[in-house]
């Protein structure tokens, strides 16, 4: 069962990557976090408000994590949002140039755990 969940998550991620994101800023691959912030046209707070609005989040929703990053060649703010009435998290990517929500995916608790494990494995290899 664990393999199926991980495989489904990977296939979903690959499908999203293949579709590409319609973004406004395409930074160089190895830009530092400070360089990325310098390229952004909207603030993290503005992007977070856009992310919450894009999923019609209730006032009790909590942003668990948020960062500016390069995703599929695009400069985005990525937010993990916990909505009390749903299990898992909602991940929303917001264009750092326009402030528009580009993608929204819901991760079940199992998918969330698989992503954390993959992130840990990647960081160990660096």
Domain boundary assignment for the chain = 2-125
Q: What is the tens place of the pLDDT at every residue in 66-113?
A: 999 999 999 999 999 999 988 999 999 999 999 999 999 999 989 888
120 phi/psi in degrees, rounded to 5: -65, -45
pLDDT at 123 over 60: yes
Task: Say whether domain 2-125 belongs to CATH 3.40.50.720.
Answer: no
According to the model, what pLDDT value does residue 37 have? 95
Distance CA 83, CA 27 (A): 31
**Cα dihedral 3, 9, 10, 12 sign:** positive
Which pLDDT value is given to residue 126? 60
pLDDT at 18 over 80: no
Determine the Cα–Cα distance for residues 11 and 18; give it in Å rounded to an integer.
10
Comparison of pLDDT for 115 and 26, the residue scoring more: 26
Is this model's pTM higher than 0.85 or not?
no
């Amino acid at each position: 069962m664990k393999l199926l969940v991980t495989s489904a998550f990977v296939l979903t991620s690959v499908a999203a990557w293949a579709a590409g994101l319609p973004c406004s800023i395409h930074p160089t691959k190895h830009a530092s976090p400070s360089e990325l912030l310098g390229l952004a046209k909207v603030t993290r707070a503005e992007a977070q408000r856009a992310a919450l609005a894009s999923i019609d989040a209730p006032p009790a929703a909590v942003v668990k994590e948020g960062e500016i990053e390069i995703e599929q060649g695009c400069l985005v703010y990525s937010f993990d949002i916990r909505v009390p009435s749903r299990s898992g998290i909602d991940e929303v990517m917001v264009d750092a140039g326009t402030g528009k929500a580009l993608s929204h995916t819901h991760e079940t608790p199992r998918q969330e755990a698989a992503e954390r494990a993959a992130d840990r494995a990647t960081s160990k290899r660096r």
